[in-house]
């Protein structure tokens, strides 16, 4: 097994899938309010992917070995949920922080991204966790260039998060993405500089750190005596957890973020220089509209 290198035509397919995935998150933004249930959010995203974008929600029915088929079109991970939260009937409350993770398949290509949303007003501590996690993801992204190694990415993320007093979840990682949802390489969010695989132009993978306010340990979320849903992961100490995710291409000179759209949160100042992106005017025209023609 080895890391797929995408051709120019394959990269074009990934650009469209990535932009569509980002546009789903844009579309959801005004709906992320107190009183809305995550099942309603899931339904909105599902219908947008299928009926507006002509795509397929990659998570629906997804079941790698050892997992039951995932029952929804996105993951909604609330407060102490680390990842893979399943949408349900509970309404969002003022002060919640929630990660929404969307993966769209378009013409066979997967675009995978997630963002944190703050419901109403939350604590300074929760806001800081969301912000530092966003910056930690970007600390990893800016390391991406030919000749760099995966360990450089992991180290940059870990150093930044731990310096801020947080911990990095070890059990889940970023991943190669393309014709398959999860392919090689594994992209750890911790590590040592100069170690692991060397990056080569045409590689595409996600960077998606899960950062805990407390200890890094996690557990399966077993609610009372109900059977485990097979997916939901929470912090062991029930501290808050945050996550952001982009799909990133290794270019000849650095990186290109593929999961971008008109509503993408702008990169932090330290990343602005290398952020060689589609002009704003082009992004204003939703890819969904292009795809539908």
* 206 HSE (CA, 13 A, CB side): 28
What is the per-residue binding string for ligand MF3 in 89-118, x denoting contact by CB under 6 A? ------------x-x--------x------
Q: Given the complex with ligand MF3, which of 85 and 151 has the nearer CB atom? A: 85
291 alpha carbon, distance to own chain's centre: 23
Q: Given the complex with ligand MF3, which of 62 and 275 has the nearer CB atom? A: 62
Picked from ligand MF3, Co ion, none, the partner binding residue 156 (CB below 5 to 8 A depending on kind) is none
Strands 81-83 and 174-176: unpaired
Token representation of residue 19: 């932009």
Q: Cβ 31 to ligand MF3, closest distance in Å? A: 19
Q: Cβ 124 to ligand MF3, closest distance in Å? A: 28
Indicate whether 28 belongs to the interface with ligand MF3 (CB under 6 A).
no
Beta carbons of 206 and 191 less than 8 angstroms apart: no
Q: Given the complex with ligand MF3, which of 259 and 274 has the nearer CB atom? A: 259
Show contacts with ligand MF3 in window 221-280 (CB under 6 A). 231, 245
DSSP state of 224: T
Q: Cβ 233 to ligand MF3, closest distance in Å? A: 10
Picked from ligand MF3, Co ion, none, the partner binding residue 84 (CB below 5 to 8 A depending on kind) is ligand MF3
* 64 HSE (CA, 13 A, CB side): 7
Instruction: Pick the binder of ligand MF3 from 22, 70, 185, 188 (CB under 6 A).
Output: 70
CA-based nearest residue to 258, from 11, 56, 57: 11
Q: Given the complex with ligand MF3, which of 69 and 194 has the nearer CB atom? A: 69
User: How far apart, in whole angstroms, are the C-alpha atoms of residue 163 and residue 168?
Assistant: 11
List residues binding Co ion (CB under 5 A): 101, 112, 206, 245
Contacts with ligand MF3, residue ranges (CB under 6 A)? 59, 62, 70, 75, 84, 101, 103, 112, 206, 208, 231, 245
């Amino acid at each position: 097994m080895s890391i797929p290198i995408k051709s120019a035509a394959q990269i074009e397919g990934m650009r469209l899938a990535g932009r569509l995935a980002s546009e789903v998150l844009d579309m959801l933004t005004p709906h992320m309010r107190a009183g809305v249930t995550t099942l309603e959010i899931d339904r909105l995203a599902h219908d947008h992917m299928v009926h507006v974008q002509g795509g397929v929600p990659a998570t629906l029915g997804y079941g790698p070995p050892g997992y039951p088929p995932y029952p929804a079109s996105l993951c909604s991970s609330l407060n102490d949920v680390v990842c893979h939260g399943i949408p349900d009937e509970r309404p969002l409350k003022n002060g919640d922080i929630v990660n929404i993770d969307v993966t769209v398949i378009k013409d066979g290509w997967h675009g995978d991204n997630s963002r944190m949303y703050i419901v109403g007003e939350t604590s300074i501590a929760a806001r800081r966790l969301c912000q530092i996690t966003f910056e930690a993801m970007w600390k990893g992204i800016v390391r991406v260039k030919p000749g760099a190694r995966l360990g450089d990415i992991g180290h940059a993320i870990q150093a930044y998060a731990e310096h801020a007093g947080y911990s990095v979840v070890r059990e889940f990682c970023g991943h190669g993405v393309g014709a398959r949802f999860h392919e090689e390489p594994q992209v750890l969010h911790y590590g040592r500089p100069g170690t692991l695989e060397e990056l080569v132009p045409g590689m595409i993978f996600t960077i998606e750190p899960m950062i805990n306010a407390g200890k890094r340990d996690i557990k399966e979320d077993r609610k009372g005596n109900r059977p485990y849903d097979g997916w939901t992961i929470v912090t062991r100490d029930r501290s808050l957890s945050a996550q952001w995710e982009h799909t990133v291409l290794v270019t000849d000179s650095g990186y290109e973020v593929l999961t971008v759209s008109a509503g993408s949160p702008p990169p932090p100042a330290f990343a602005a220089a290398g952020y060689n992106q589609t002009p704003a005017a082009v992004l204003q025209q939703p890819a969904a509209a292009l795809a539908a023609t």
